[in-house]
Structures are given as structure tokens and as C-alpha cells.
Amino acid sequence: MRRRLAAPLVTAAFAVAAALLPAATVHAAPADKAAVLSSWTQTSASSYTAFSAARADRGAWSAYGFDWSTDYCTTSPDNPFGFPFASACARHDFGYRNYHAAGTFDANKSRLDDALYADLKRVCATYSGLKKSSCDATAWTYYQAVDKLGS
């Protein structure tokens, strides 16, 4: 009889203790990590802005365990012909590294490459005339490289 009562009482005690623990002791990051990662790797300017703000304050996101490392544009120039592509490449690296770590890279690669291209086109939109045409062509070349060769 004692054993039958003891198990439910222990289970109830653990449930009460868990409910009373402060929220700070609960590690909720993994459940939210995929949503945060997705929100920072969309093609929109607002997604890029949110990623940039988070990258500037990485400590605030440390519980998520994101890989912030980057080699920028890998073996391609980070600022080809003076066009500042490095930040777009850093976000692209962030997406590649973190989706690889999550085991969902293949399902997200196309969007990550599209986001890089959108970021590069936003850089090019700040130019006009021949300089813009040159930037657009360079952005297209970078996009084609990651689309075909990125892994």
C-alpha cells in the first residue's frame, strides 16, 4: 500500500516544484530557436535589419547557441569592385551554418540563397547608372555561385 501512494506523491511533488521554479531556470531557447533562425533568414529588408541588430548584440542571444562565425564571401571578394557585400555574405554564412547544425539545410538552402541575392540587390539599389548595372551583374554572379556551388 505504501508503494502505491509513494509514486503519485513523488510525481505530484515534482510537478509542484517545476511549476514553482522561476522562469529563468527553464531553458526555452531550443523551442524558439527555429523560429528565430527563420525570422533572420528571410528575403525581406526587415529580416536583414533584425539579423543585423542581433549580430551587433550577440550576447543577448547566447542562450540560443547560434553559430555567428563567418568567412564573409568565402573565396570571392567581400567588396568586389568596391561594392560592400560582406554583411550580406555574413548573414548568408549564418543561415548556412545554423541550418546545417539544425539538420534542415537542404529544406532551407534555396531561401538562404534567395535572401543573399535580395541583400545584394539592396546594396546595388544605392547606386545608379553604369555603377548600378555593374553591381547588379556582380550580385547575379554571386547568387549563381551559391545557388550552384553552395553547400
Which are the catalytic amino acids?
A: 92
Cα distances from 106 to residues 2, 36, 71, 151, in angstroms, run 54, 18, 21, 9
User: Which of 91, 76, 78, 101 is CA-nearest to residue 44?
Assistant: 91
Spatial CB neighbours of 93, under 8 Å, sequence gap ≥ 6: 69, 70, 71, 72
Between CA 116 and CA 149 the distance in angstroms is: 14
